[in-house]
Amino acid sequence: MNNTIREQLLGYLLGALDESEQNFLKEQLKHKPGLRRELAKMRQKIWPLAPTRDDFMPPPGLAFRTCELVATVRKPEASARECAIPR
């Protein structure tokens, strides 16, 4: 099984796919027992992490600080203003 399929299965389990990707994978799972087995294995592996999946609010300014860091690493003379994310 290739990494792209594994990534899609993980996204499916985590609810991280968009609606069309989710629907496509549901259809694939109906017709492919191997895919269902792989999904079951992945579900079993990530199950211990379920209690840690609480929603949380990121710290204030995280996006700005991240953009600032990326801009600095990418081009030292660049500033976070290029990112256009308000503080």
pLDDT in tens, 48-63: 776 666 666 778 888 8
Is 15 a residue whose pLDDT tops 90? no
First to last CA, the chain: 43
φ, ψ for residue 76, nearest 5 deg: -50, -35
5-14, 54-63, 75-84: lowest mean pLDDT where?
A: 75-84
Specify whether 38 is located in the same domain as 70: no
Range of the domain at 87: 59-87
Specify whether 19 is located in the same domain as 39: yes
Please tell me the pTM assigned to this model: 0.55
Mean pLDDT of 70-80: 67
Specify whether 85 is located in the same domain as 45: no
How many CB atoms are closer than 10 A to CB 38? 16
pLDDT at 29: 94
Specify whether 40 is located in the same domain as 69: no
φ, ψ for residue 41, nearest 5 deg: -65, -45
pLDDT at 53: 62
